[in-house]
Structure formats: structure tokens, C-alpha cells
Amino acid sequence: MKIGFIGLGNMGAPMATNLAKAGHEVTGFDVAGTTAEGVAQAATAEAAVQGADVVITMLPNGDILRKVAGQIIPAMTAGATLVDCSTVDVESARAVAQQAEAAGLKSVDAPVSGGIGGAAAGTLTFMAGGSADAFAAAEPLFEIMGQKAVHCGAAGAGQAAKICNNMILGVTMIATCEAFALADKLGLDRQKMFDVVSTSSGYSWTMNAYCPAPGVGPQSPADNGYQPGFAAELMLKDLGLSQQAAEAADADTPMGQQALALYRTFVEDEDGRGRDFSAMLPRFEGRGRS
């Protein structure tokens, strides 16, 4: 396929590279001027999408997505497919889908899970919203960039799934870090703690696959000084989206609300910015009961 790719950041660049390595003709654009291996560079976003069968966007937020969509949709070929892999609010995803469909385009909102490592390795999970035809058009590319793609429903359903998933992730990471900090104060060895919890009812992805305690469990950012695999400020963004959605849907999410407050304090008032979201563990280690 001929593919336009808008947004060649930490996630977008390796995704675009994997598409190029698979033999697709990929033309990219990023406002920062960043490039990706095997990807031709366009001077503008509009130039990157001209004549493309599929256009993929990976952008920071809903406002930027709406702005970019306004630029590229008029430049796209009728019948082409717009695939947005950004994590944005549901309302922005649905607005862009409506705009694309009004222009005779197929549209998929397909945020991802798996982080920078998953983008580089081609092992991302895609949560997709849109029509069955649009999903079918994008699915061969999902298979290159990831290991799994789930068609979650109509426009906006992909973003809804991502927001709910990451609310669970944020809440669970906080609980895991709290438990390790408590275990320390109770004199329980961290490895013993892991051995019990990882095979008991406390089992979770944050414990078993992404343990926040250095030297315990599989390799994780905790073993690299909490250099981010998934930055705390990105978790703060996603928890903010979850609470924005909860307010719009009149949903009671007290744990999600508390997780947002804790990550906001961690990122904005403490030393969380630029660290992995699992660095909540050293935060709790140094704190007493208030």
C-alpha cells in the first residue's frame, strides 16, 4: 500500500519503519522534523497524504488531532482510510470520524497498548473503533505493527477501550507500589512478596509483567533507574481522559479519580515527570502515613 504517516515521535517513528520494512511505500511528516528509517519525508502533512491508500496519525492530544484532520482530510483521496492511533478523548475521535466519513473516507480510531518497546518490536495491541469495512482496510497494517487488533465497535469505541484499560492500569500500579512499600515496612522480603502475590489472588500485569521493584520479576523500567517505558506524565494524561469520559457519561469512578489526583501530584509537584509510571514505588517508600 501507499501509506501516509503523520507524527513520527517515539511511537510513530518505529511504527512507520515497520510498515516500510514490510514493503509498503511510506511517506511521513512530523512538525518537529523527525524522520524514520525507510520512510520518505514530506514537506507538509498535506503532501504526505496525497494519493495514499491509508493515512495513519499518531498525535499528542485531541486538539492537535482535530487540527491535523482539518488539514489532511481535504487532501486525501476519496475511498482512502484514515487510521488514528493517538490516545485522545472519545469526543475528538468521533468528531474526526464524522469529518472523514463526510469526505468519503473510511475512518478508524485505533489507540495502542505496548509502549515504545512494543512499537519497535511490532507487538502492539490495537483497540479499534469504526465500521467493519474500515477495520478490514486497516487490519493488514495492524498485523505488521502489532500482535493483536480488536474491533471494539463503532467510532470512538477504540478510545473508550483504551481509556478504561489505562484507568485499570493506573489504579493497579498504585496498589502494587503501595503493597511493596507496606511489605518493606513490615519486614517482608520483596522477592518473597513477589513469589506469593504473583501466583496468588493479587496477580496482576503490574506485578507479574512490569514489577515496580528493582531486581524482582522480569526486567522492567525499575531495573533501569525508572527510565520510562511508559512515562508518568502519559499516565496522567490517560487518567485525565478517563475522568473526562466518566464525567460526560455520569459514571462513578472514585478509584480512577484518586489515581488521577495521585499522578497529578507525582508529576506536577514531585519528581515524577520524565520517570516511568512505576516510579510511584520509591515515592511511597519515602513516605509515612499522613
The residues annotated as belonging to the active site are 162
- With beta carbons less than 8 A apart as the criterion, state whether 206 and 280 touch: no
Among residues 72, 61, 98, which one has the least CA distance to residue 3? 72
The neighbour count for residue 92, using CB atoms within 10 Å, is 22
C-alpha cell belonging to residue 59: 498525535
DSSP state of 268: H
Report helix angle 12-21 to 132-145, nearest 10.
Answer: 90
Q: Can you tell me which residue has the cell 507500589?
A: 177
For 244, counting Cβ atoms within 10 Å of its Cβ (0-12 exposed, 13-18 middle, 19+ buried), the class is middle
**Any bridge partners for residue 32, and if so which?**
none
